[in-house]
Structure 1
Amino acid sequence: ISFGTLLAGESVPFFHSHMENEENYIILSGKGRFQVDDEVFDIAEGSVVRVATGCDRNLKCTSDEPMTYICIQAKEGSLGGYTMTDAEITQRDNRL
């Protein structure tokens, strides 16, 4: 998991792709443009973008204020279960 900030007009200085890991970008503030291979689309606060392995990616801040984002990287296809199949209800005193 990484945290990034791009200033107005700034982009990541390189395209890159991963052989085994997918990336999930969550835009926390600002707005910009995202490119995956030859597809370009707008992103803004609240956008979530998943990029599969073998795809070139890059992003650019197009807002006047900085664009901040979180990038979560994980091995593609590694999620063996999700909340409904991997969780179990437990018994514990609630102290909240």
Structure 2
Amino acid sequence: MMLERSGDHDFGYELHEGSPVRIQWHFYGQSELPVAVQTWEIPAGGFEGMHAHTENDIPLEEIYIVIEGTGCMRVDDETFDIATGDSVLARVGTSHDLRNTGDGPLKLLVVWGNPGTADYSNFGSAKLAQAARATFSANRPA
């Protein structure tokens, strides 16, 4: 199957003792990429549940990208208010929790897997991403 439509394979799930979440695991069992690619929908007032993926457990790194809505993400001792277009990285071993602080659903793209390295430096978009990060760092107030 080359196309999955929104909602084709979604299911309800309770993550880490949090509230029920709608999840669609895109191309489960079909993609050979070493990551899970999921969309989540957390209802107003819902939350993921504080948890960590440690070296002693299954060491996972997670990237959360907000597609729609607003929320609050706690990663260790830091708390971030997040909204559409924002992204948060939860590295292996960090305690983290995500909460929907808005009136409507919080929709996210969540990518997770075992940490590792890959070299994409020959791609034009990688070179531009590196330059954009350097420019941002150089112009960031001290």
TM-score normalised by the chain length of structure 2: 0.54
Q: Distance in 2 between matches of 1:80 and 1:30?
A: 32
2:2 matches 1:2? no
Runs of 4+ residues deviating >6 angstroms: none
Q: Which amino acid aligns with 2:77?
A: D
Q: Distance in 1 between matches of 2:53 and 2:43?
A: 25
Corresponding position of 2:86: 47
Report the 3-state secondary structure (helix = DSSP H, G, I; strand = E; otherwise coil) of the residue aligned with 2:122: helix
Q: Which amino acid aligns with 1:57?
A: H
Tell me the CA shift for residue 53 of structure 1: 0.5
Q: Which amino acid aligns with 1:54?
A: G
Number of aligned residues? 83
What CA RMSD, in Å, does the superposition of the two structures yield over aligned residues?
A: 1.4
CA displacement, residues 5-36 of structure 1 (integer Å, 9 cap, x when unaligned): 11111111x21111222100010000010001
Corresponding position of 1:91: none
Q: Distance in 2 between matches of 1:62 and 1:17?
A: 21
Q: Which amino acid aligns with 1:15?
A: M
Corresponding position of 2:65: 26
Report the 3-state secondary structure (helix = DSSP H, G, I; strand = E; otherwise coil) of the residue aligned with 1:72: strand
Corresponding position of 1:69: 108
Q: Distance in 2 between matches of 1:58 and 1:82?
A: 30
Q: Which amino acid aligns with 2:82?
A: I
Q: Which has the higher contact order (CA 8 A, sep 6+)?
A: 1
Tell me the CA shift for residue 70 of structure 1: 1.3
Q: Which amino acid aligns with 1:53?
A: V
2:85 matches 1:57? no
Q: Distance in 1 between matches of 2:60 and 2:117?
A: 12
Q: Distance in 2 between matches of 1:82 and 1:39?
A: 30
2:116 matches 1:81? no
